[in-house]
């Protein structure tokens, strides 16, 4: 679903830029375009396959009250 939304958003930005006469917000050479694709693919693959761990140290973090004892949290 995220990929489909990304394609629709990219297509929409391209159409708006074309209709408004703005230059596309992308590199004009093939190497630059491949760099953008590689960075996007790396981000997506890392998000999918990286190990997600539980937040074990949450009680030690100071929240909006500034106290690390957990007082004032929901």
pLDDT in tens, 6-38: 778 887 887 887 788 887 766 677 787 788 888
Sign of CA dihedral 4, 9, 35, 19: positive
Q: Which residue has the higher pLDDT, 39 or 64?
A: 39
pLDDT above 70 (res 67): no
Cα angle at 60 between 64 and 73, to 5 degrees? 40
Q: What is the pTM of this model?
A: 0.39
pLDDT above 80 (res 42): yes
């Amino acid at each position: 679903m995220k990929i489909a939304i990304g394609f629709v958003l990219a297509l929409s930005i391209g159409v708006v830029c074309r209709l408004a006469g703005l230059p596309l917000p992308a590199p004009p050479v093939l190497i630059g375009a491949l760099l953008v694709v590689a960075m996007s693919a790396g981000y997506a693959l890392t998000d999918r396959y990286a190990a997600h761990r539980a937040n074990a140290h949450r009680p030690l973090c100071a929240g909006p009250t500034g106290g690390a004892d957990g007082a004032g949290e929901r």
